[in-house]
Chains A and B, each alone.
Chain A
Amino acid sequence: MPVVTKKLEQLDEPLEIAGHEFRSRLIVGTGKYKDNETMVKAITASGTEIVTVAVRRVDLDRTKEEGILYHLDQKRWLLLPNTAGCYSAEEAIRYARLGREAGFTDWVKLEVIGDQDTLLPDVEGLVEAARTLVSEGFKVLAYTNEDLITALKLEDAGVAAVMPLASPIGSGLGLLNPFTIRLIKGRVSVPVIVDAGVGTASDACVTLEQGVDGILINTAIAEARDPVRMAVAMKQATEAGRLAYLAGRMPRREQAVPSSPTAGMLD
């Protein structure tokens, strides 16, 4: 029984981003929940320490309860404003500055989208916006393609983390290209946090098994039939994948090897 009592803290190091340490390697989004109560329950159950939010116009005709800041305790979670929906560097920079003002934080999840159908990043705009925001003191976590060269350019621009996608935003297709994710992780020195495309717990687990530093999940939790249960599943899958990576998996073999001794069999 004492064997299983080792806490996660003793089995893994904290995730460090821009000099801040986090125990959880799971970042969750706050979009698409059916109501704020479910959202808060799910993010609590996920064990996350960082939650993303978007910047949008206030609805002047019904303003009272709509802002999400009202529901999120900033002492409990680091708010990570995103620039979702921005299609140019200029627009993303504008949203990042508004997010900084709204959240009293210089962290930003930078998205510069290049195409409406796939929501894939515009890497030119992304690198340009990253350079500007870094020069303005932002801690930039950059949502990007699973492309090594772009990741290297972003690192050179001074981002705090690169966030290559598992598959397109909201697709739930899971980790489509583990090879390029490992390639990026092997080459950049800033944290690699896979963002977008996770569909279910096994996707999160497989992603962390690649050795990346963390994962960001929104839709897979928010659109689950039971978001709170799925949040727990994602927490456990993230931890399981991370520990499996650290533990080091056995080699793959194309033939069976018995687990029980071959010696000592009866005549």
Chain B
Amino acid sequence: MTPVVKIMNESDQGTITITVNGEERGVPAGLTVRDLLAHFELHERLVVVERNRQIVRRHQYGEVPVTAGDTIEFVHFVGGG
């Protein structure tokens, strides 16, 4: 959370707005999905990424770009029956 706020306050022109888990967030431009996971301090192995309703496979994390207006979902397993 902290790094995101900082970036937004800088009103850096290198910031893009995306929707992450239903919330609008500012993130640096030019990130890949792998960078985005690191940005939110998420463990690659424990999280699944959906970008614009398409699952991003783990081996593609380093290649798939995050672009302005993207809708990203980070999901994981929780307790359930």
Chain A residues with CB under 8 Å of chain B are 29-33, 39, 52-58, 60-61, 63-64, 66-70, 72, 79, 81-82, 84, 94, 97-99, 101-103, 169-170, 196, 216, 218-219
Contacts and interface: CB of A to CB of B under 8 A. Distances in A.
Given A60-B1, A60-B21, A61-B1, A53 B77 contact: yes
A223 B36 CA distance: 38
A68 B77 contact: yes
B21 A30 contact: no
A58 B74 contact: yes
Given A63-B42, A69-B46, A98 B75 contact: yes
Interface string B42-81: 1101111010010101100000000000000111111111
A216 B75 contact: no
Nearest to B73: A57
Contacts of B45: 69
A57 B78 CA distance: 9
Contacts of B79: 29-33, 39, 53-54, 68
A29 B22 contact: no
A99 to B, nearest CB: 8
B10 interface: no
Most interface-central of B22, B79, B80 (chain A CB within 10 A):
B80
A218 B81 CA distance: 6
A67 B41 contact: no
Chain B interface mostly: mixed
A56 B81 CA distance: 13
Given A60-B40, A69-B46, A82 B81 contact: yes
B20 to A, nearest CB: 7
Given A58-B42, A61-B1, A97-B55, A169 B77 contact: no
A103 B21 contact: no
A61 to B, nearest CB: 5
Given A67-B46, A67-B47, A101-B48, A31 B81 contact: yes
A61 B40 CA distance: 9
Contacts of B48: 55, 98, 101-102
Given A60-B20, A101-B48, A102-B48, A219 B75 contact: no
Contact of A67 (B23, B57, B76): B76
A67 B77 contact: yes
A54 B78 contact: yes
Interface centre among A32, A63, A170 (most CB of B within 10 A): A63
Contact of A30 (B41, B43, B57, B80): B80
Contacts of B47: 58, 67, 102
A257 B75 CA distance: 62
Contacts of A32: 79, 81
Contact of B77 (A39, A54, A63, A170): A54
B81 A216 contact: yes
Given A54-B77, A58-B76, A60-B74, A98 B40 contact: no
Of A32, A67, A70, A169, most buried by chain B (CB within 10 Å of CB) is A67
A204 B78 CA distance: 25
22 contacts: A29-B80, A31-B79, A54-B78, A56-B76, A58-B21, A58-B47, A60-B1, A60-B20, A60-B21, A60-B74, A66-B78, A67-B78, A68-B76, A70-B46, A72-B77, A79-B77, A82-B81, A84-B80, A94-B53, A98-B55, A102-B48, A103-B77
